[in-house]
Amino acid sequence: MAKLIAPSLLSADFARIADQIADVQNAGADWLHLDVMDGRFVPNITWGPKIIGDLRKLSPLVFDAHLMIEEPERYVEDFREAGCDRITFHLEATTHAQRLLTRIRELGAKAGVAICPQTPILMLEDIIDECDLVLVMSVNPGFGGQKFIPRTFEKVRQARALIDGRNPLCLIEVDGGVGERNARELTDAGVDVLVMGSTIFGASDPGAELRRIRSLL
Ligand code: DX5
Ligand code: ZN
């Protein structure tokens, strides 16, 4: 399938968020990636359903929520109501991942599971049938602008093999330290969706940067 680019609003300037969203949307962004952080699962805090509901009025793009929160099962309904099309939670943050994946699908959203760098792909074997997306973290979650962990390439290849054999419609997303130096290598390894925060919003012209990365894929 065509490779997708999901700019992460974590690195956007919220004082002019409407312009920033319009910019990447006009440049052909496929999804908007929304990082929800609670200050517990990760050492940083961002936004909740209220802000996402307000952003929803600014763009028809797919809202790709990445929940970095403890007990995500308590909040998936609120994020769905706020307008998230895809909801991805961390395997490490909940005891009942299989149940939560099913619940997110019942709510009419696409269900994703994210894994931190220390969690092996093996942990996905018994839930892969219920996943619409697997998010392989290529940094420790919490902050933008961190260094890409090279072991991610091998994990992507393992995820690709698991998904091709068991649930070929499931997408693979990579998040953290993605940019021109590794984007093509990641898609060659089997990634479907590239999340990019600082690469895009740290550029002087985010739209032009998005187009430039797209041309490399
Ligand atoms: C980090 C977030 C990422 C973040 C990536 O925990 O999940 O989505 O925005 O930022 P970059 O692309 O700057 O590494
Ligand atoms: Zn993210």
Alpha carbon of 144 to ligand 1 centroid (Å): 4
Cβ–ligand 1 distance for 8 under 6 Å, the answer yes
Contact in structure between 177 and 142 (CB atoms under 8 Å): no
**Residue to mutate (ligand 1; options 143, 200, 201; most atoms within 8 A of CB):** 143
Cβ–ligand 1 distance for 7 under 6 Å, the answer no
Cβ–ligand 1 distance for 65 under 6 Å, the answer no
Considering just the CA atoms, what is the radius of gyration of the chain in Å?
16
Read off the pLDDT of residues 67-86 as tens digits, 9 standing for 90 and up. Answer: 999 999 999 999 999 999 99
Contact in structure between 191 and 171 (CB atoms under 8 Å): no
Alpha carbon of 175 to ligand 2 centroid (Å): 6
The residue type of 42 is: V
**Residue to mutate (ligand 1; options 31, 135, 198; most atoms within 8 A of CB):** 198
In sequence order, the 6+-apart residues with CB closer than 8 A to the CB of 210 are 5, 7, 24, 27, 28, 29, 196, 200
Q: CA-CA distance, 194 to 83, in Å (whole number)?
A: 21
Read off the pLDDT of residues 146-198 as tens digits, 9 standing for 90 and up. Answer: 999 999 999 999 999 999 999 999 999 999 999 999 999 999 999 999 999 99
Contact in structure between 113 and 97 (CB atoms under 8 Å): yes
When pLDDT is averaged across residues 187-211 and rounded to a whole number, the result is: 98
Residues in the chain, overall count: 217
- Count Cα neighbours of 95 within 13 Å in the Cβ-side half-sphere: 0
The residue type of 184 is: R
Active-site annotation, residues: 35, 175
Q: CA-CA distance, 17 to 22, in Å (whole number)?
A: 8
Alpha carbon of 57 to ligand 2 centroid (Å): 21
Contact in structure between 61 and 86 (CB atoms under 8 Å): no
Q: What pLDDT shows up at residue 78?
A: 98
146 strand-pairing partners: none
| Percent over 90 (pLDDT), the chain | 99
